[in-house]
Chain A
C-alpha cells in the first residue's frame, strides 16, 4: 500500500467538543467565573439542591444552565428563586456538550466573579465524557439510590471532584449505610471529596456553601491556587 493511501489522524473522537470546551474555559477564566457541572441520575434532587443553594448564597451573582431532554420546568423552578437561568433541551441527546453550553453562556452574559451552575441531563453515563469547560464536576447521589451506585457507574464518579450524598434525612428510613456509600466512592476515585447533606432540611448545607465559596476565592485569585 502506498503511503498516500493511509491518512494518519490520531485525533480524539470528541476533538470538536474539546475545542468548544476550551473556548468556554477561556471565556470563564477571563471573567473569573467559576463553573460547576452538576451530574447525577434523574431524581437525585439536583434542582432542589440548586434552589436551596441559590438562596443560601444570598447576593452572590450567578446563573444556571439547565439541561433536560424536554420541558422548561427546571429553569422555571430556578427562576422562581430570582436567579437567571437558561434551559437547554437536548431533544434526543443524553448529555450537554461544549457547543450547547457556549450558546447558553451567550444568553446568560454573566458578570465577572459570578458562579455558573450547569445542571447536566440526569444520566450517570454520557455526561462523564463531555468536557463543557467547567472547573469541576460535582456528582449528586441520593441515599435511596443504593450504596453500590458508584461501582455500577464508575466513570462518572471518577470524573467528579466532589460527591454530594443528598437526602440524608431519609437515611434512617431506608436501611442505607452511608459509610459504605463513601467507601464505594473512594474505591472508584481515591481522591474524591464527599459531603453529606439534606437540601430539604438544610443539614450539611453550610459545608457545601463553604466549599463553593472556597472554589470561588481560588478562581478569582488563580496565582494563589498553585
Chain B
C-alpha cells in the first residue's frame, strides 16, 4: 500500500536528520516493518530508489527488517505470535485474535557514507 508516500515520509526524516547531523551522504537506511503493516517490501524498494533521487540518500541501500506479528487471543487471553493475520491461536486454536503489534513502520538508523 502507498509505498510511494511511505518513501516520501522516509525522505523527509532522512533530510531532517542529515541537516541536523551535518551529513552530506547516506549509504544505508534500515527500516523496521511489522508483519502486519501492509507494506510490500518489493514495492518499497522500488519506490525508495525513485523517491530518494536528488536527496542525500540517492543510491543508498534500503534494508528492511521484519518484526513479528503479535496478537491477543480473546479465548485463552494469551499474547501469541502469528505468521498470518488469519491464523488460529497457536496455543489454544481459538479464532478470536486481536492484533497487538506487527503494524510498525520505523526508520531504525542511517549509515553515513
A residues with a Cβ closer than 8 A to B are: 1, 4-17, 93-95, 125-126, 128-129, 151, 154-155, 158, 186-191
Contacts and interface: CB of A to CB of B under 8 A. Distances in A.
Contacts of A154: 85-86
Which label, helix, strand, loop or mixed, suits the secondary structure of the A interface? mixed
Contacts of B93: none
Closest 8 pairs (CB-CB, A-B): A190-B96, A13-B105, A125-B1, A7-B110, A126-B2, A190-B74, A13-B9, A5-B112
Contacts of B23: 7
Interface of B: 1-2, 5-6, 9-10, 12-13, 17, 21, 23, 31, 36-38, 74, 85-86, 95-99, 103-112
A158 B110 CA distance: 32
Given A10-B108, A151-B86, A189 B98 contact: yes
13 contacts: A5-B111, A6-B109, A8-B108, A9-B109, A10-B107, A11-B106, A13-B106, A13-B107, A14-B6, A16-B13, A129-B38, A129-B103, A187-B86
B74 to A, nearest CB: 5
B9 A16 contact: yes
A16 B17 CA distance: 13
Nearest to B23: A7
Nearest to A123: B1
A7 B95 contact: no
Given A13-B31, A125-B38, A7 B109 contact: yes
A189 B96 CA distance: 7
Given A1-B111, A187-B96, 5 more contacts: A5-B112, A8-B109, A155-B38, A190-B74, A190-B96
Given A9-B13, A11-B107, A191-B98, A129 B86 contact: no
B17 A187 contact: no
B110 A9 contact: yes
